[in-house]
Amino acid sequence: MQKNNMFKGFLFTAASAVIFGFTPILARISYDGGANGLTMTFLRCLLALPVLYIILKIKHVPLTIEKKMRTPVSICGVFGVFATTALLYSSYSYIPVGMATTLHFIYPVLVNTICVLMFKEKITVNKAAALLCGIGGIFLFMDHFLTGRGSRTGIVLSLLSGLFYSIYMVVLDKSTAKEMYFFKLSFYLCLFGAALSGIYGILTGRLTLHLTGQAWLFAFIVSMCTSVGAISLFQLGIRYIGASTAAILSTLEPITSMLLDVLVLGESMTMRRVLGSLFILVSVILIAWTEKPKKIQKYSAEPNTL
């Protein structure tokens, strides 16, 4: 049973990484139709709320939040959805999507460091090797630095998004938030994201809804894929295999972004990127072969599914 749960964790995390990898391309294209990073953050969260609400009603899941979960869910909403997404999406206006995604992937290192230093997690030789391979792969993707195409603003925004995402992952893994039914947690994360990005966008004048039909379509697709699909899958992945392992497996995301950069946006394929992909795949294989099954707790007063 535990091995089956471990396989689910790998599968859910990998699927979320692929989804998170291709949706930035759609978000970036929508900018040509009048969108911007903050608008995409707002729409990504807002458009998913009715769908998630219907799912919870169909499954008869109550919307009330237990007191012990309120603080960690709030932290996850602020850091994991609003801050991370707004910063990352905003960076696309300054640097290529592939480069932004690569820089965002400072978070596997941060997550593993926090788990070792603050929570005394042991890191095995194989896991350390997998992490180093992942870091090496990410480093090889940074060929944009060699061509001088990196905007300082875009770089800072991407790195900050990685920092905030690492906080979200650790809080989700180490708190009672992971006991909440995954679609319910996604609903509240999107609620936080929509409210905060909407308020901030109105106060700063950066929220615009005057988009082309194509931009609205891409915003809806991004919302369904990420806020309904990828976020829920990633929560399940962390639940089954933990934050540190999920962070390493998520390095599949830049491979997806890189391939779509080449196929859709016309970026060049280089030997460095090919080698970077191989390094990341090796890190994923090491984790898959050596990770031990994790004991899973039941959801707190929620449907016993997945």
Please choose, from the candidates 253, 241, 98, the residue with its C-alpha nearest in 3D space to the C-alpha of residue 169.
241
One digit per residue, the tens of pLDDT, for the chain of length 306 reads 566 778 888 899 999 998 988 888 888 889 999 999 999 999 999 999 999 999 999 999 999 999 999 999 999 999 999 999 999 999 988 887 777 877 888 888 888 888 888 888 887 787 788 888 878 877 776 665 555 555 788 888 988 999 999 999 999 989 999 889 999 999 999 999 999 999 999 999 999 999 999 999 999 999 999 999 999 999 999 888 888 888 888 878 877 877 777 777 666 777 887 787 788 778 777 776 666 555 565 666 555 555
The predicted structure's pLDDT at residue 224 = 96
The predicted structure's pLDDT at residue 54 = 97
Please choose, from the candidates 223, 221, 119, the residue with its C-alpha nearest in 3D space to the C-alpha of residue 174.
119
Q: How far is CA 231 from CA 81, 117, 181, 234, in A?
A: 9, 26, 12, 5
Contact 21, 252 (CB under 8 A): yes
Per DSSP, the three-state class of 276 is helix
Contact 124, 245 (CB under 8 A): no
The predicted structure's pLDDT at residue 6 = 81
The predicted structure's pLDDT at residue 75 = 95
Q: How far apart are CA 215 and CA 210, in angstroms?
A: 10
The predicted structure's pLDDT at residue 154 = 86
Please choose, from the candidates 96, 93, 91, 215, the residue with its C-alpha nearest in 3D space to the C-alpha of residue 164.
91
Cα 202 to chain centroid distance, Å, stands at 25
Q: How far apart are CA 44 and CA 149, in angstroms?
A: 28
Contact 101, 253 (CB under 8 A): yes
The predicted structure's pLDDT at residue 295 = 59
The DSSP 8-state label assigned to residue 207 in this structure reads -
* Element containing residue 244 per DSSP (H, E): helix 243-249
The predicted model scores a pTM of 0.83
Cα-based angle 188, 192, 197 (whole degrees, multiple of 5): 150
Please choose, from the candidates 192, 243, 237, the residue with its C-alpha nearest in 3D space to the C-alpha of residue 84.
192
Contact 176, 65 (CB under 8 A): no
CB atoms within 10 A of CB 34: 15
